[in-house]
Amino acid sequence: MNVEPDVDRAVAEASEPTPKRVSQMTFPELVTFATALGNKIDTLWHRIIYIHVGMIAVVIFLANAPGDHIVARIAVFGFYTFNVIITFINLNEAYGGLVAAIADIRRFEARGASGAVQAWLTARDYGNNTRLRAAVLFVFWLIVAYLIVVPLASNPDMALHERIQTFLGISPPRR
């Protein structure tokens, strides 16, 4: 059995420029896929909204509770940060899939297929949505960080370095 022609063919195919990818999905499948991705994006965005509603409840509780609750504040903020990051990663991947699906739908338009739904879908540009939502999330994250963390270091009777030491759990030197 001669294996070399197969190896030579594989090397030749690997050295050729990559052909333009052609979707194997039909137009209805692409529309269904794009719709499913849009639903996933909406679900993930609602999850982020619910996380922030929960954080508002925690901030209200901690504002009315006696004591600093240092460990609780740090644990809640860590959990919040983790959930926002993971949800944003999933949101970014879903937007990547949606951009790819729309690009494939545009190829159908180039082949002569057209219609009102296709025109509407191809007019959408989801390229900036990820950056916009990242900016919104970052602003909300800063607000939540301010509301959760700053009260730990804001005792007006203490000097700034004493507040920082208290926040870090280091007892200030006795006078």
| Predicted pLDDT at 82 | 94
Sign of torsion over alpha carbons 88, 92, 95, 101: negative
| Predicted pLDDT at 148 | 82
* Nearest-5° Cα angle at 38, 83 to 124: 120
107 versus 94: the higher-pLDDT residue is 94
CB 115 within 8 A of CB 44: no
pLDDT one-digit tens code per residue, 49-94? 999 898 888 888 887 777 777 788 888 889 999 999 999 999 999 9
pTM greater than 0.85: no
Return the minimum-mean-pLDDT range out of 12-16, 19-23, 29-33: 12-16
CB 79 within 8 A of CB 148: no
Q: How far apart are CA 100 and CA 102, in angstroms?
A: 5
| Predicted pLDDT at 90 | 93
128 versus 5: the higher-pLDDT residue is 128
Res. 45 pLDDT band, cuts 50 70 90: very high
Q: What is the mean pLDDT of residues 117-125?
A: 76
Q: Which helix (H) or strand (E) holds 145?
A: helix 129-149
Cα–chain center distance at 14: 35
160 three-class SS: helix
- In the chain, the amino acid numbered 104 is D
